[in-house]
Amino acid sequence: MHSSTSKRGVLPGFGITMGYSVLYISLVVLIPLSALLLNSTGLTWEKFWDVATDSRVLASYKVSFLTAAAAGLIDTALGLLIAWVLVRYEFPGKGLFDAMIDLPFALPTAVAGVSLTAIYSANGWIGSLFEPLGIRIAFTPIGITLALMFIGIPFVVRTVQPVLQELDAEVEEAASTLGASRFRTFRSVVLPELIPPLMTGFALAFARGIGEYGSVVFISGNMPMKTEIAPLLIMSKLEQFDYAGATAVALMLLIISFVLLLLINSLQRRVRKTAK
């Protein structure tokens, strides 16, 4: 009796659920991705390399990855702050504020892009304040970063918030009764617990930023070699019926992103292990 339950595993129905999981992952992720791979097979290896490492394409990767990383990092800091305020303090309108965090998810990204451009362009509300200082926001990498921050912020808040909520206030109290300063308590007691979710939040915001198209095309100005993002180059190749070229750039983007995400994941695992 005892041995048979352990053989069957803790929860029932592994076979069926595993089947469903594999089916759904195949339908939604694996098959579309392999179609992408198949589309690029119209290219020889050399042609693929030529397309994927063309100087304009390389410049666009640089813009995409740097702005996504910058936006991800800023979001990580801001997201932590927002989550902290939401979890630790009570204030009027908190529920509304909390719900608003998710709005960037619901808004069509193109709408976000158009409104951000309207506000931050030289004659917009905020852009016109910066213009006299010689700072242009719209149509520069700053604008792109801003758009990516907007769409990435919910990822960080929503991954950090629950962890922060679970954190035992008693541990912090214990630290302070043992004589730790507030900063010391935060650094040695709270922060270690938050690093894994912060990294997850960063990875999600970063990944989202790399592939983002709709909100960026309006605010970036799309100048080749300067503010052109990789997804736009993919679109421009598709516009000219160059499927193979488009998938070559897309594939390259995917490979780089995957390697970066893998790196972040393994780093996160290590952090978690040393924390334990």
Partner 1 sequence: MKKVLKQGLIAGLVLAVSLVAAACGNSGSGAKEVNLLNVSYDPTRELYTEFNKAFAAHWEKEKGEKVSIKQSHGGSGKQGRAVIDGLDADVVTLALGYDIDAIQQAGLIDEGWQQKYEHNSSPYTSTIVFLVRKGNPKGIKDWDDLVKDGIEVITPNPQTSGGARWNYLAAWGYALHQNNNDEAKAQEFVKKLYEHVPVLDSGARGATTTFVERGLGDVLLAWENEAWLSVEELGPDKFDIVYPSESILAEPPVAVVDKNADKKGTREVAEAYLQYLYSEEGQTIAAENYYRPTLDSVKSKYKDAFPEIKLFTIDDEFGGWAEAQQKHFSDGGIFTQIYAPK
Binding site for partner 1 (CB under 8 A): 51, 54-56, 59, 114, 117-118, 121-124, 138-139, 217-218, 221-225, 232, 235-242, 245
CB 209, CB 73: distance < 8 Å = no
d(CA 190, CA 17): 37
Shortest distance in whole angstroms from residue 51 CB to partner 1: 7
Looking at beta carbons only, is 6 or 55 nearer to partner 1? 55
Shortest distance in whole angstroms from residue 230 CB to partner 1: 14
* Residue 131 DSSP label: G
Looking at beta carbons only, is 3 or 240 nearer to partner 1? 240
Residue 35 to residues 32, 238, 258: CA-CA distances in angstroms?
5, 15, 17
Shortest distance in whole angstroms from residue 28 CB to partner 1: 20
Shortest distance in whole angstroms from residue 123 CB to partner 1: 5
Provide the token pair at 57.
């394409």
Taking every pair of C-alpha atoms in the chain, what is the biggest distance, in angstroms? Answer: 80
Shortest distance in whole angstroms from residue 142 CB to partner 1: 14
Looking at beta carbons only, is 52 or 207 nearer to partner 1? 52
d(CA 38, CA 196): 36
Shortest distance in whole angstroms from residue 115 CB to partner 1: 12
Provide the token pair at 240.
């000219």
Shortest distance in whole angstroms from residue 228 CB to partner 1: 8
- Burial tier of 4 (Cβ tally within 10 Å: 0-12, 13-18, 19+): exposed
Looking at beta carbons only, is 51 or 80 nearer to partner 1? 51
Q: Which of 57, 72, 80 is nearest to 252 (CA)?
A: 57
Looking at beta carbons only, is 158 or 226 nearer to partner 1? 226
**Three-class SS state of 11:** coil
Provide the token pair at 72.
């991800």
Looking at beta carbons only, is 143 or 196 nearer to partner 1? 143
d(CA 134, CA 94): 37
Handedness of CA 208, 209, 213, 215 (dihedral sign): positive
Shortest distance in whole angstroms from residue 226 CB to partner 1: 9
Looking at beta carbons only, is 154 or 231 nearer to partner 1? 231
Provide the token pair at 262.
């893998």
**Which residues, other chains included, contact 245 with Cβ-Cβ below 8 Å and sequence gap of 6+?**
43, 51, 237
Looking at beta carbons only, is 50 or 172 nearer to partner 1? 50
